[in-house]
Amino acid sequence: MTAIGSLTLMLHQELRINWRMMTARASHKAALWSLVAFLVVWHLVALPVPFILSEMPPWPRLDMLAAMSGVGVFGLIMMLPFALLGTVRLVYSRGDMDLLLSSPLPPHAIIVARVLAIAFGLFAMAGLFILPAANMGAFGNPRALLAYVALLCITLTATALGVLIAQGLFALLGARRTRLVAQIVAAVMVVASLCLANLHNILSASAVEALTQRITNLAAHVPAVDSWVWWPARAALGEPLPFLVVTSLCLGLFLVTTYGLASRLIANAVAANGAAEKTVRMRSSSRALMGQRGPVAVTRRKEWLLIGRDPWLMTQIAQQLLLMVPTIFIIWKASSLAYAWLCVVMLTGQLAGSLAWLTVSTEEAPDLLATAPVRRRDLLLAKLQAALVPTVLLMGMPFVVAWSVDVWLGFTVTLCGLGCALTTALYHVCNPSHAKRSDLMQRGGSKSHSIIELVLVLAWVAPAALMIMFGWLGLPALAAAAPIAYLLARPRAGNAA
Amino acid sequence: MASHDALRIRGLSKTFARPAVAGLDLTIGAGEFYGLLGPNGAGKTTTLRMVVGLLKPDAGSIEIFGVDALADPIAAKRMIAWVPDEPLLYDKLTPIEYLSFIAGLWGMDATLAERRAQELLEQLDLWAHRNERCEGFSRGMKQKAALAGGLLHEPKLLILDEPLTGLDAAIAREVKDILYDHARRGCTVILTTHLLDVAERLVDRIGIIQSGQLLAQGTLNELRLKSGRRDSTLEDVFLHLVAKSEPRAA
């Protein structure tokens, strides 16, 4: 098979697998119709775009170039963590690398196709939101269609940088640690870019004013309109020479990076497989479990050992919690510090939900537990405790701080936080679904699990907000929310404990 | 105290899309090494999963050493160990931690469990690996660790579903020796296998199941007589009996 033929075959395979993973919980037809409906709605939302574009000046101004460059850089920063994680996943998570590398396909074609699939995924995800505006904008100014090329350049650049960073991590840290560190780096990037996007909401009025002043001062040193700094923005506006140079550079960076590093990525994939099988020797730890009396204690301890020994999972949970940081700042800025404490209630519920989902839905030996002479409710109690104890320990400090700020605030946050933790954990314990640990963030792809967990969290945040707002007069809301939360959390038919 | 059969099944039925087990009657005496054979989809695994409490039967009764397993599953489970073809292990635990966990589940005395764990791991050549996480183990080592888990609490009834699948000759031999040894010491062992030569050499009595019903059972000689093939191997007898019953099953 020719190199192009191999590349086409692999790319087709990659896109088919990605599409099936995306639509795993829906039929092909339903997914396709949902996509079409989304695009139609988004095109309708973009109806005013041609009118906005028709009022724009014909020649680029400095402020327009600066704004376009800012948007481009921001898009690049947002895509970078996903490109990095995609590359790391390419090396680690897909079990078919041995099959592909033992096939007569050129190894470079396999890697290039997989990296291209990452770029295509980024293009599709961003394009879903951006390109309808470009399509509608084309009615006012056909140059709006250049957004397709601009987006392609940004995704290719982000993917190439993601591959470079991943390769750098492999070289620095080795195959065993790269996945964990990449997860942390990506989480920090996502949180940083969200904070950056919400800077005006996060900073105080005086800080925003000072920042604006600094930016205004910097404007004096900004290069002139004809500087090469603005070439990417000018390329996006369709100026021939910048367009040619910038698109060639982006494409060149992508090809050089992908082809240049293909051999190393293959070597990393082989090393990663070896690393997974490498022996991990522990200190003698039989006492850790032997010392525990009874099935509840021993099961609880087993869950803690398993969670503690999977640092990748810990970073996933930490990432979930870190994503809450910008929200805390936004609520703080928009209302008052008291309402920012609502995020502690949400965090407590999410943390307990994540841990409970892990202990129940990713149980590796369910048949062992089912054949043990232990009542099912004892096992579920152990799993509930395994989720709740670390949650309370981790969130204990924020609870104590809330009490020290104000007794009523402390009471509200602690009561609603613990209630939220209990019901989200109870929900997952009573309604298990078998899934892989790597599906933690998507709760195993179960939309109902994610939605019910969100509803449960809101069922406790709402009365907490009313209690902060109206004092003890908010207690009836809590009295109404608690039974609703319990009803949602209790076992469904067929999942009875 | 009255002596009971190790396993007594009456009228056991389970239907999924089609009947998997259809009114099965089966009795296995205490201390027997029993081989449950049958073609793919015959209902062997479904039957055993109902015995160990992983599936609820639609109808019928299961008694384990005189205990009604459906009415008092906890008491029945205390006497059973279940070792399926996919090892019931935790990748991030070491074998010694895994055995400690099982000891906790079965409520064993910690000192006794520790001594027994050491004996089993030494017997299965896993003692040197006792502090290594199972994630780095080969399939054979995992299967041996799972078997150690099954034997730790000294079950009166050991049930194994295809325990030799994917094992190399040396490890398969070790597993067979251990099973044989336990059967000789009075533990009742029930195993399913597609390796008919293994069944022929290892088990005392054989039951052949097809379409969820017991086709024939007895010692190899009794089965030979029943099939009218005096000097045949178990494979010949098995294929003959299954082929003969196919029109009836259809």
CA B183 to chain centre: 12
Q: What mean pLDDT do residues B66-78 have?
A: 93
Q: Which of B92, B104, B133 sits opposite A295 (nearest CB)?
A: B104
In chain B, domain spans: 1-79+156-250, 87-154
Cα-Cα-Cα-Cα torsion A355, A359, A362, A368, nearest 10 degrees, comes to 180
Considering the domain architecture, whether residues A267 and A305 belong to the same structural domain is answered as no
The label of the residue with tokens 């007895």 reads: B218
| Domain-embedded: residue A284 | no
Q: Are A497 and A380 in contact (CB under 8 A)?
A: yes
Considering the domain architecture, whether residues A243 and A369 belong to the same structural domain is answered as no
**What is the span of the domain harbouring residue A380?**
299-489
What letter does residue A281 receive in the DSSP assignment?
A: B
pLDDT tens digits, residue range A288-302? Answer: 555 667 889 999 999
Q: H/E element holding B217? A: strand B213-218
Q: Which of B74, B101, B135 sits opposite A373 (nearest CB)?
A: B74
Residue A278 reports pLDDT greater than 70: no
Q: Are A18 and A108 in contact (CB under 8 A)?
A: no
| Rounded distance between C-alpha atoms, residue A212 and residue A206, angstroms | 10
Q: What mean pLDDT do residues A434-457 have?
A: 72
| Domain-embedded: residue A283 | no
Considering its fold, how many domains does chain A have in total?
2
Interface touch B104/A299, C-beta < 8 Å: yes
| Domain-embedded: residue A292 | no
Q: What mean pLDDT do residues A220-236 have?
A: 83
Considering the domain architecture, whether residues A238 and A372 belong to the same structural domain is answered as no
pLDDT classification of A440: cutoffs 50, 70, 90: low
3-class SS of residue A5 = helix
Considering the domain architecture, whether residues A22 and A88 belong to the same structural domain is answered as yes
Q: Are A159 and A122 in contact (CB under 8 A)?
A: yes
Boundary (domain end) residue, out of A275, A290, A319: A275
Residue A286 reports pLDDT greater than 80: no
On average, the pLDDT of chain A sits at: 82
Q: What mean pLDDT do residues A409-415 have?
A: 93
Q: For chain B, which residues lie within 8 Å of any Cβ of chain A, measuring from their own Cβ?
A: 52-54, 74-75, 77-78, 80-82, 84, 88-94, 96-97, 99-107, 110, 113-114, 117, 130-133, 135-136, 149
Among A87-101, A168-182, B138-152, the minimum mean pLDDT is found in A87-101
Interface touch B117/A286, C-beta < 8 Å: yes
Q: Are A416 and A467 in contact (CB under 8 A)?
A: yes
pLDDT classification of A496: cutoffs 50, 70, 90: very low
| Domain-embedded: residue A291 | no
Residue A194 reports pLDDT greater than 90: no
CA A180 to chain centre: 15
pLDDT tens digits, residue range B156-170? Answer: 999 999 888 777 788
Residue A305 reports pLDDT greater than 70: yes
Better-predicted residue by pLDDT, B117 or A320: B117
Q: Are B8 and B27 in contact (CB under 8 A)?
A: yes
From the CA of B11, how many Å to the nearest CA of chain A? 22
| Domain-embedded: residue A290 | no
pLDDT tens digits, residue range B134-143? Answer: 988 988 899 9
Closest CA to A344 of A441, A424, A457, A187: A457
CATH assignment, B1-79+156-250: 3.40.50.300
| The overall pTM is greater than 0.95 | no
Boundary (domain end) residue, out of A275, A309, A329: A275
Instruction: Count CB-CB contacts under 10 A for residue B132.
Output: 18
CA A392 to chain centre: 25
Interface touch B110/A291, C-beta < 8 Å: yes
pLDDT classification of A143: cutoffs 50, 70, 90: confident
| Domain-embedded: residue A183 | yes
